[in-house]
Each structure stands twice: as structure tokens, then as C-alpha cells.
Structure 1
Amino acid sequence: MVKPRICGGAYTSGQQKRGKRWCAMIELVLTVCLAGDPAVCAKRMLPRTAVVSQMECEASAGARIEAWQMQHPDLRIAKQACETPDIAPLPVTEIADGIWMHKGLHEIPTPQNAGDLANIGFVVGQHAIAVIDAGGSRDVAERLLAAIRQVSDLPVEYLVLTHMHPDHMMGASLFMDMGAQILGHENLPAALASRAETYQANYGRLIGSQRMILSDAVPVEALTTGIAEIDLGGRFLHLAQTPTAHTDNDLRLFDDLTATLWAGDLVFAEHTPALDGSITGWLSVLDDLRASKADRVVPGHGPVSLPWPEGMRDVYGYLAAIAQETRAAIKQGESLSVAITHVGESQRDKWLLFDEFNARNATAAYTELEWE
């Protein structure tokens, strides 16, 4: 097994449990305000890929700020300093050797939770770190980076986005600013481009204009083949595209070293699933994944680790029930407006946020299955 390089010396579980800060985070911290509304401001890190010293940060600050400002004419910098950011790290758990996870909340987005709704985390190799999903805002991403720096001072070289939904990717600009390579499904760039304005408007209304400063979609390097591989040093992450399922741009990962499957929102637990692709496709993908040699799965929502394949049982049961009940309603000649009042009700007691998601799932299932 590969033990990650830990800041400040050899790792012991007791030191990590005590929350000792091993890596001194010296970052360029900007107070950024909206050019059109100077009263709306937020502190934002402009980090480097790897840990730097105070002297290194200050020496490069001017050039970095100039380049950054050219890319963000809609923002103004009120203050700047190289300092240790006053940021509370996200709580993370090491679910397997070198794999650290944060559990998202089962809530709708609000200014208070800053879109911290999805399971996100990072994988530490001998030479580099890969972040898997960036959270629902720049605030969440910066707290994740603070958690990373409590574990390791290795460079963050990759951000992998499992799909297009805002709670998984609105913090991506932090890692773009760091210079990390941002990877996703071949359909992800088009999916983000077609939804960017809607996401900015609707999500901004939910989490507020301050939280939305630098919370946005970013350019993604799409996979040109169905699979790809990331070498972190001593461990490889395998990336695989899936056919249309939860969305038309779902990407899953597999870590050889620990036999961990990172499923993104292909697997939900506790939180009602969200159907934004194909219900038949999703069930088919899960059927194919059932044979995976994984020991555990990381779901997009719910506990940060579940045994495999048992971990897919609940989401599979929900989708199968939606499909069965929708087909029965269509066979009975029910209209969409009637069907969505009862399709999925058999699953209500098994899921949180049921009223927020089930009717939309039933609608999507009906519009797909009525043409079978």
C-alpha cells in the first residue's frame, strides 16, 4: 500500500484525528467585489498548484493578479495579501488508503450551506493529488483545499468532474486558477455551455450573489476516448465514460490500489435520486457496474463509502419502481399530470428530499417511457 507524503513528517492517525495543521498554507488572498455592485464582496484565494513560501507568494503576486484581472473584468480587487487564509477546512474522512471524502448535506442550496451538498474529495498518490468534484461554490472548493493541505503538500494536478450538476462543479474555478488539469466526459463541455446562463441565474438566486463570486462553470478537457488513466505516482485512477444515465455526461473512476469505485451521481443513498438523463439507461449502467471488482463505492450523495455491489441496491430499487409504476400508468391511459401525482409514492419513506425531486423524476420517466 502507498502511504501519502504528509506535511511536516510521517503520518500517524492520532495526529490527523487531533486536526494538526501539517502544511502551512500561504496563499494569495484577494477581497473581490462585483464591478457593477461594489458592495458585494468576498474573500477568495488565488492559490498555486503546490505549497509556496511567503517570499514565493509575494514575488509572484503582482504578475498573477494582473493576469487574473484581465480574465475577470467584471470584478474589482479591493484588497490583496499573501497570508494564511482564515478558512475552516471541510471535514474529511479517509475511507481507504489515500482516499479522503467529505459528505455533502441533504439540503437544497442556500447562502448558509453555500451549495455544500455533494460528496466530494481527493486521492493522494506519491507525486500528486486528484480532486474529484469541486463542490457547489468557490467557498466549498476553498474549504476542500484547506482540508487537502491538512493532509498533504503534494501538488493538486487534476480535477475530475463526474457530471454537470452545479453542486458538483461550481467550485471548479479554484482548481483552474491553480493550474490543475480539469477532466470530464466528452459531453460535459456542451452540457455546461447549454446550461451556463441558467445555472448562473437559478443557482445564484439560491446561494446569493456573494457566494456566486467566482462560482461558475469552467473549460473542461473532455475525454476523447471512452476511458483514460491518471498517474498520481504509485497509484492509477481509471476514468470511464458511461452512456446516458443520471445525465448524458456521467463519468466514473476506479482506484486500483484500494478497489474503490467512485460513482458520482450514478449512485445515490439517503438523498432522493435526480433523473436528468434516461431511466432505462441508468438501470442498464447499474446492471453493467454490478460486475465491477470494487470493494466499495463512493456515491454522489449519502454515506461517503458503501460496500459494493450492495451500495447500489437502494438507487436501483427506486429507479426500478419508478419505471414499473410509470409503465403501469401509461398502460392505464393516465396523462402525465395524473401519473406524476402517484408514481414513486411507494418509495417516499425511503428517501430524503422526496418532494423536491420525485415529481421531476416521474415526469422525466413518463416522457421517456411513453414512446417505448
Structure 2
Amino acid sequence: MALALLLGLGAWAPAGAQPAAAPARVDVARLDYGLQPRQIAPGHWVIEGAVEDFSRANGCNIINTGWIETQQGLLVINTGPSRRYGQQQRAAIERLSQRPVLQVLNLNLHPDYFLGNQAWQDRPIGALGGSIAGMRAEGKAYEDNLFRLCGDWMQGTEHQPATGVIEPGFWPAGSRRLELLRLDGHTADDLVLIDHDQGVVFAGGLVFADRVPTTPHANLARWLASLDALEARLRGLKLKALVPSHGPVRADLSGLAQTRDWLQWLEQRLLESAQRGLDLGEVLRLPLPERFAAWAAQPAEYIRSVTQLYPRYEVEALGSVTAGTPR
């Protein structure tokens, strides 16, 4: 279904510099995520996940979720990695706002974007069409994988894909312009939300900050093209906050630049390694540049990305050699 909401602007009192994120007070014994919502701009809130890899210690909560407060109601963005997260997210939102939730958005098909949907089944839940298809096809596998990784945090979690197909474009939003932008590359359908008047961007999985990007559904060339398109779309925007799905919120494009740097480097490494005839084990043993050494989820994400992506580069390199062989 197409989405058209009349969105207004909530009040915002704090002045001065944007506060740093409060650390989540995760209580493993009580299975409490310790969610700490904070306001990043007028009408915009974020709940930041751990800048880590999935683990029992963080309850598989490595995702940034959030919501937009309007005069008519709330727009919730991402629902977290489990039913329990979705329930605690909803309770945190209801403590801070008495307005109804008009719409829930899942920005892509990955599990921590939508496995909390069970807590929101009485509200419209939307995503891009390709994301919904992916949730339906892979949801059960996501459940099983996160149960193995995070155990009791996942009790009662069953995948509930979004049901409403979101159409990209501008929404009527009172005195401000709120845009849903469809891009791709991190997955086949990547949804980005831009508040052009408040200068807030929910960039979804296209942008990572201080963390190695994940690539289970990635097309590196398409992802790089989408980063270029997003940066062009934001040109002239008075950026107040760019919210990646993984990593700290910042008031600049440094997360986008970091993501581009990693993807360009990774693509070049895979291409050159294949042309040299290196096998998978040899590529995995190559050193990483110092500038990436402190990023979260190293070396796990490098290993996963190379293992998944490198065979295609090997096939392409072999094809090039074969094509150039005299007959």
C-alpha cells in the first residue's frame, strides 16, 4: 500500500551541543536491553545499539532504531533483533510520548531491522517490496541463526515480515519535507528516510560508522553507486544528524565516507587477489590496513565478506584468463 501521512513537528527544548549517546545498561540476567532513547533533533529520537558484533552479552542488539514525533502521531524506524527488543522499544517510546504510532518502517530485510515486529502487530508495518520478499524467504533462517548466537534473548521470537509495501517519494509533512528514498547495494532494496527541513537522515544499512560493513546480500558496485547518489541527494542539506543503522550518530558525512573507503578497498583487494591467483586462505591471511584496525566487528566481518564474495572474483578472473588464451 502507498503511504501518505500528514506529519507535523513535535516540540524540542534542549539547546547547545548534541549530547553523546548514553551507554545501554544491558542486564543479561534479566534479559533487559537497557534501552536509552535520546533526542537528536526536533521531533527525532534514536535508540543506539552496541557498536559490536552479535553476542549474548549485547542481546544481539547492534542496531540503531528510532522514531519521529509529529503532531498526528509517531513513525517508528526499525524494530530490533527480537520480540523482546520490540516490546522494550515500545515501552520506552510510550514512556516518552502519548501520541499514537501511525506507522512502523523496516529499512531493509536483515533480521535486526524487523524481528521486533511482533511487538507492533497492531500497527501498520511497511517496507520496500524487495525487503518484504526477503523477510518472507529468509525469516526462519534468521530466527535460527540469532537463537544460536544469543540464546534466551530470542525466546518467543518469530519472524513477522512487514505487510505494507512502501512507495518511495515525498510525504506530506506539514511545514517540512520528509522523503523516502529507495537505493540498493547493501541489499536489493535499501530504504533511506530524509527530513530535508530538520536535516536528519536515517540511512539504514547503506552507512556504517566505526564498524566494518556487513555484506550477506551486498553488491559492492551498486552499493558504491548508492553512496554517491545519497551524497548528491544530501548536497545543500543542513545536516543535523546522520543515523547509520550500525555505529554512532554524527552531524556529518564521515560514516558515509568510512563506508565508501572500506567498500572501495575491499573490492580492490578481492580483484587484485583473484588476478594474482591467490586462494581463499591466502586472501584471509593478508594484513588489513591500519586505518581499519580499530573498527568494530574485526576480523569477523572481513572473514565473512571474503568467504562470501571472493569466489565470484575468482570465477571472473579465470574467465578473463580463459578468454585471452590462444586457441
Matched position secondary structure for 1:265: strand
Matching residue within 274, 297, 305 for 1:330:
274
Q: 1:343 offset after TM fit, Å? A: 7.0
User: Does 2:112 correspond to 1:167?
Assistant: yes
1:4 maps to a residue whose letter is G
Partner of 2:303: 359
User: Does 2:243 correspond to 1:303?
Assistant: no
2:51 maps to a residue whose letter is H
Partner of 1:266: 206
TM-score (norm 2): 0.80
Q: Is the 8 A contact 1:133 1:160 kept in 2?
A: yes
1:257 maps to a residue whose letter is D
Partner of 1:279: 220
**Alignment size in residue pairs:** 292
1:335 maps to a residue whose letter is D
Task: Provide the C-alpha distance between the structure 2 equivalents of 1:152 and 1:237, rounded to a whole number of angstroms.
Answer: 21
Matching residue within 238, 256, 260 for 1:316:
260
- Structure 1 pair 369/311, CA: closer, same or farther in 2 (3 Å)? same
Q: Is the 8 A contact 1:263 1:299 kept in 2?
A: yes
Q: CA RMSD in A?
A: 2.8
User: Does 2:198 correspond to 1:198?
Assistant: no
Following superposition of structure 1 onto structure 2, how do residues 1-372 of structure 1 map, counting pairs within 5 Å? 3-4=9-10, 12-13=13-14, 90-176=35-121, 179-209=122-152, 211-223=154-166, 225=167, 227-231=168-172, 235-243=176-184, 245-276=185-216, 277-293=218-234, 294=237, 295=239, 296-308=241-253, 310-342=254-286, 344-345=288-289, 347-370=291-314, 371=316
TM-score (norm 1): 0.71
Q: Is the 8 A contact 2:143 2:157 kept in 1?
A: no
Q: Which has the larger radius of gyration?
A: 1
Matched position secondary structure for 2:149: helix
Q: 1:3 offset after TM fit, Å? A: 4.9
Q: 1:260 offset after TM fit, Å? A: 1.6
Task: Provide the C-alpha distance between the structure 2 equivalents of 1:120 and 1:174, rounded to a whole number of angstroms.
Answer: 14
1:366 maps to a residue whose letter is Y
Q: Percent identity?
A: 25
- Structure 1 pair 364/272, CA: closer, same or farther in 2 (3 Å)? same
Task: Provide the C-alpha distance between the structure 1 equivalents of 2:302 and 2:84, rounded to a whole number of angstroms.
Answer: 29
Q: 1:124 offset after TM fit, Å? A: 0.5
* Structure 1 portions without partners, runs of 5+: 6-10, 18-41, 44-86
* Structure 2 portions without partners, runs of 5+: 1-7, 20-29, 318-327
Q: Is the 8 A contact 2:33 2:59 kept in 1?
A: no
Q: 1:306 offset after TM fit, Å? A: 3.6
Q: 1:367 offset after TM fit, Å? A: 3.5
Q: Is the 8 A contact 2:84 2:153 kept in 1?
A: no
Task: Provide the C-alpha distance between the structure 2 equivalents of 1:363 and 1:267, rounded to a whole number of angstroms.
Answer: 22
Partner of 2:5: none
Q: 1:143 offset after TM fit, Å? A: 2.1
Task: Provide the C-alpha distance between the structure 2 equivalents of 1:111 and 1:291, rounded to a whole number of angstroms.
Answer: 39
Q: Is the 8 A contact 2:82 2:153 kept in 1?
A: no
Partner of 1:77: none
Q: 1:242 offset after TM fit, Å? A: 1.3
Partner of 1:31: none
1:135-157 CA-partner distances (Å, limit 9, x unpaired): 11122222222221232211111
**Structure with more of its chain in strand, by fraction:** 1
Task: Provide the C-alpha distance between the structure 2 equivalents of 1:351 and 1:111, rounded to a whole number of angstroms.
Answer: 20
Q: 1:193 offset after TM fit, Å? A: 1.9
Matched position secondary structure for 1:307: coil
- Structure 1 pair 206/125, CA: closer, same or farther in 2 (3 Å)? same
Matched position secondary structure for 1:290: helix
Q: Is the 8 A contact 1:344 1:362 kept in 2?
A: no
Task: Provide the C-alpha distance between the structure 2 equivalents of 1:207 and 1:234, rounded to a whole number of angstroms.
Answer: 43
Matched position secondary structure for 2:285: coil
1:183 maps to a residue whose letter is G
Q: 1:209 offset after TM fit, Å? A: 4.6
- Structure 1 pair 270/215, CA: closer, same or farther in 2 (3 Å)? farther
